[in-house]
Structure 1
Amino acid sequence: TKALMPQFAKLNPIKGISNLFSKNALVELIKSIAKSVLVATVAYFVIANDLKPILSLSSMPIESSITEVNQLMTHGFITIVCALLFIAAIDVPYQLYHYANKHKMTKEEVKQESKESEGNPEIKAKIRQQQREMARRRMMSKIPNADVVITNPTHYAVAIKYQDEGMSAPIVVAKGADAVALKIREIAAEHRIITLESPKLARALYAHTELDQEIPEALYAAVAEVLAYVFQLRTFNQQGGYRPDVPKALPVPDELDPHSLIPAPSLINAEVSVA
């Protein structure tokens, strides 16, 4: 019913008149009147100036009158064309200015157009944040399947997994620094994943690996020692017997350690903790 109610605001005659006689409409009306007046004035002066020759045409021979008519028409045509060119010389620049001013966008309009064409930066940033959070959740969900988590011990944590079937080399299933590293260690402890403390190896793995990708060939030997220890420790925990020794030296190339410029022993002592 509300939609069927009459909208009296739309019947406002003053508003209709204001739309009819807008600034642009008034300017166009004045221009049209000025053009008509100018052309009429020029035509009047042309006729007034040539009035005597025009009146004398009836008394002139036909050939002379034809020549005179041609001259009068040429003179009048040239004069009117000059008047129209004068009008165009004024009107064309005004039309160009009016067109440019009409289509000139404000700063807010430019900003809005940029948002529409390139996408809202705030929305894009939010989407990127959501994508990072989703990727992090996926990464964290793979930690329970890892074989070992190698730590720095606090700044870095890298989760490694290896299977004899389907893998040519160990892969990194999760890695992180600071708060993310802490979360990785917490999940590893919750799922009783073996955690090995080896700062140099942790830094090298963090700096030179990608998620779900194989470790660099230069780190095969160091990671192989870690995995051998992990598998032996699992057997010990399940069946008893001889407890394997914690690796005392891991061969990590100095060029893969981001802290290689800091003097450090080439052999890294490792400590292990089993959640």
Structure 2
Amino acid sequence: MSETDNEDRTEAPSEKRLREARERGDSPRSRELANVAVLGCATLALKVTGPHIGGASRDWMRNALQFEPGLIGQPDRLPAYAAKQLLSLMLPVTPLLAAALVGCLLAPAAMGSLRFSGQALKTDLTRLSPMAGIKRMYGKESLVEFARSVLRLLLIGGIAALVIKGSLPRLMDLPSQSLEGAVSNGVDMVLGVFLAVVVSMGLLAALDVPYQRFAWGARLKMTKQELRDEAKESDGNPEVKARMRHAAREMANRRMMDAVPTADVIVTNPTHYAVALKYEAGAMRAPKVVAKGVDEMALRIRELGSQNKVALVEAPPLARALYRQCKVDEEIPVKLYAAVAQVLTYIFQLKKWHPSRGPMPQLVQVDVGADGAPDLVGDNA
């Protein structure tokens, strides 16, 4: 990554970029925190289980140095005997090893990077690039690591030297003590040095953890163009979304036009609005809108209705009310029941009419009021 690229990366990483980085195994890590966690847990475990480990080691040494007559002339028993001795030596130090293992897990858990990533196990040939290796050797990270190593050496070495210097009188007095007393005092002094080292490493970790989080976030920073591209990917390309909406409208229009021939009546404005209604007694609670449209779509609905001999009724207020208040494939609202019933009654009477039965039924014009109630105008009003 060139300096120009770094200068352009001025935006904080998005949640998606952070999530993808963690999935690749790229999470903030602090070597100092890992060291202090492992050494600190091991030191505490040694402080607690030290007497037990000392006694068990003494017993093991005594048993190991005893003569085992059963091995004479039977060399095939030697591997099993050696394995048994090794196992008896490992059992006392198991708590110490378990504490160190817990320390290995605490550090990444504290940094939020305790996760398994299969992508991190994949082969990456770019890591074998000589130029990439040279950049790592002489780059900014190398200088930071060098400064951190010098600080680690000075701080840990200095604190350890002070502790050892303060323990010199006790150290010089060890030869005059009994074996068990000398071992106990020696272990206490070693633990004191370990605790001092843990404290010094904790100071380094307190400085290193914020830096590692900052460096990780800076490495994942994005350019403004990357943020725009990611937003397009998340929300969808506007052009693609527009095409999808257009395709959805076309499909909905085709479904509407396929349903027009099945309608019982088409209520018109007469030119600007057209709403096709269908009602099946016993199968529907109320009439249902199967198609609706304005202007050009209204014209197509009227033409298709005429071709399929669907009755057209001019009722401008009702047509506007149906168009505004109803959705396709949904029943009409209750407040329009009476008005639509008048229209359907006229249509059903017209279908059953025959000249021999008398004069042709007259259309009762329906005027929908402001509250949706019909105002009837005509012969039967």
Q: TM-score range by the shorter chain?
A: 0.5 to 0.7
Match of 2:328 in 1: 211
Which of 196, 202, 207 is the equivalent residue of 2:319? Answer: 202
Which of 248, 254, 259 is the equivalent residue of 1:142? Answer: 259
Distance 1:51 1:226, change over 3 A: closer
The secondary structure found in structure 1 opposite 2:270 is: coil
Write the mapping of 1:253-264 to structure 2, written as runs, cut at 5 A. 254-256=370-372
Aligned residues: 247
Residue type matched to 2:271 in 1?
A: T
Which of 144, 156, 169 is the equivalent residue of 1:39? Answer: 156
Match of 1:87 in 2: 204
Distance 1:187 1:45, change over 3 A: same
Distance 1:182 1:194, change over 3 A: same
CA distance in structure 2 between the partners assigned to 1:70 and 1:256 by the alignment = 95
Provide the aligned C-alpha RMSD in A: 4.7
1:62 equivalenced with 2:213 (yes/no): no
Distance 1:213 1:97, change over 3 A: closer
Residue type matched to 1:14 in 2?
A: M
Give structure 1 stretches of 5+ with no counterpart: 1-8, 261-265, 271-275
The secondary structure found in structure 1 opposite 2:298 is: helix
Match of 1:180 in 2: 297
Whether the aligned pair in 1 keeps the contact of 2:266 and 2:302 (CA below 8 Å) is yes
Whether the aligned pair in 2 keeps the contact of 1:232 and 1:244 (CA below 8 Å) is no
The one of the two structures with greater contact order (alpha-carbon pairs below 8 A, sep at least 6) is 2
1:151 Cα deviation after fit: 0.9
Residue type matched to 1:172 in 2?
A: V
CA distance in structure 2 between the partners assigned to 1:95 and 1:226 by the alignment = 81
Whether the aligned pair in 2 keeps the contact of 1:42 and 1:83 (CA below 8 Å) is yes
The secondary structure found in structure 2 opposite 1:221 is: helix
CA distance in structure 1 between the partners assigned to 2:189 and 2:331 by the alignment = 97
The secondary structure found in structure 2 opposite 1:211 is: coil
The secondary structure found in structure 1 opposite 2:371 is: helix
Distance 1:44 1:226, change over 3 A: same
Residue type matched to 2:249 in 1?
A: R
Match of 1:227 in 2: 347
Distance 1:243 1:21, change over 3 A: farther
CA distance in structure 1 between the partners assigned to 2:329 and 2:321 by the alignment = 16
Whether the aligned pair in 1 keeps the contact of 2:267 and 2:318 (CA below 8 Å) is yes
Give structure 2 stretches of 5+ with no counterpart: 1-125
Distance 1:28 1:61, change over 3 A: closer
Which of 252, 257, 276 is the equivalent residue of 1:159? Answer: 276
1:17 equivalenced with 2:131 (yes/no): no
CA distance in structure 2 between the partners assigned to 1:12 and 1:102 by the alignment = 20
1:208 Cα deviation after fit: 4.1
Distance 1:80 1:186, change over 3 A: same
